[in-house]
Amino acid sequence: MSELDPLSALRNHYQKHGDFSKVVYEDGFVVLDGVRLSEAAPTAFKRQLNTHEEYFYTVKDVIFFIDNFGLNIDQYRQKVVINKVKAVIQQDKDALKKYIDGNKALDLFINITN
């Protein structure tokens, strides 16, 4: 049995529970339904920012984004700075939320190679 990539593990957990309130945090790791992931583990969702630096959102970035989805842009940015996470940029928000919700199978910027 192959190991789930972090983005799929996040999606599976979210679809099962409807949020990330049941996530257990342990010394820089998160545990989702028995799957232990580093908060810093890159997911398969590539940031759509046109820079020479390639960046894939981390487990921590995705959980933080979903947990704070209802905030307005200014509140979200303030919490990003306080919590020291990488903000999910505006052009990624809809696709990432729909993917985690299960309303979208894949996106151009998802790179699952398993």
Looking at the whole model, is its pTM more than 0.85? yes
Check whether 108 has a pLDDT greater than 90. no
Q: Residue 76: phi, psi to the nearest 5? A: -60, -50
pLDDT for 25 beyond 90: yes
Q: What is the mean pLDDT of residues 88-107?
A: 87
Measured distance CA(38)–CA(6) in Å, rounded: 9
Query: For 27-74, what is each residue's pLDDT tens digit?
Result: 999 999 889 999 999 999 988 887 778 899 999 999 999 999 999 999
Whether residue 83 has pLDDT greater than 60: yes
